[in-house]
Amino acid sequence: MRVLGIDPGTERLGFAIVEKFSGSETLLEAGLISTKIKDANGKRLLYIQEELGKVLERNEIDLAGVEKIFFSKNVSTAIRVAEARGVVLALLAKHNIPIREYAPTEIKSATVGYGNATKDQVSKMVQTILRLASPLTLDDVADAAAIALTTISREKF
């Protein structure tokens, strides 16, 4: 079973593909899709769609987990994240990939065991679970891996 985790954002979108096989999880691919701040929003969203589409084309994905939008004091940031999520959800639907959505506290709780865990705690637990030599250095990528792991832990395989 291959699961794609996505930490959505317009400026930076983290993704991670984790495979569950014979009782253990393995990180197959992880990365960051970054857009240029100076570009028009529509162009940034199109770039996310194209780059994530390439990830989907080169990988067989059985299921995807996407982080829900959390409450934000900055409404314009929340709107941009919502727009990126819309692109992601539509692209996953186009590829007939089932989607699961999780709040940040659900992801932290499933990964670390504590809903108010820090980014560092999440990153270290992802490193431990996936048996990585070093932590994933970018928060968005570590979060995407945590989302994939959350999706795996919530599913009955």
Question: Residue ranges per domain, the chain?
Answer: 2-154
Token pair of 107 as six digits: 């992801």
In the residue annotation, 101 being an active-site residue is answered as no
Q: Which residue has better confidence, 140 or 157?
A: 140
Q: How far is CA 25 from CA 19, 62, 82, 101, 131, in A?
A: 5, 14, 29, 20, 9
Q: At what angle do helices 119-129 and 104-112 cross, to 10 degrees?
A: 50
Query: Which residue out of 19, 25, 67, 143 is catalytically annotated?
Result: 67
Q: How far apart are CA 18 and CA 11, in angstroms?
A: 23
Strand partners of residue 32: 14
Query: pLDDT class for 78, splitting at 50, 70, 90?
Result: confident
In the residue annotation, 140 being an active-site residue is answered as yes
- Average model confidence (pLDDT) across the chain: 94
- Residue (of 141, 120, 153) closest to 30 by Cα position: 141
Query: Which residue out of 19, 25, 83, 140 is catalytically annotated?
Result: 140
In the residue annotation, 139 being an active-site residue is answered as no
- Give this prediction's pTM: 0.95
Query: Which residue out of 7, 19, 83, 143 is catalytically annotated?
Result: 7
Q: Which CATH architecture has domain 2-154?
A: 2-Layer Sandwich (3.30)
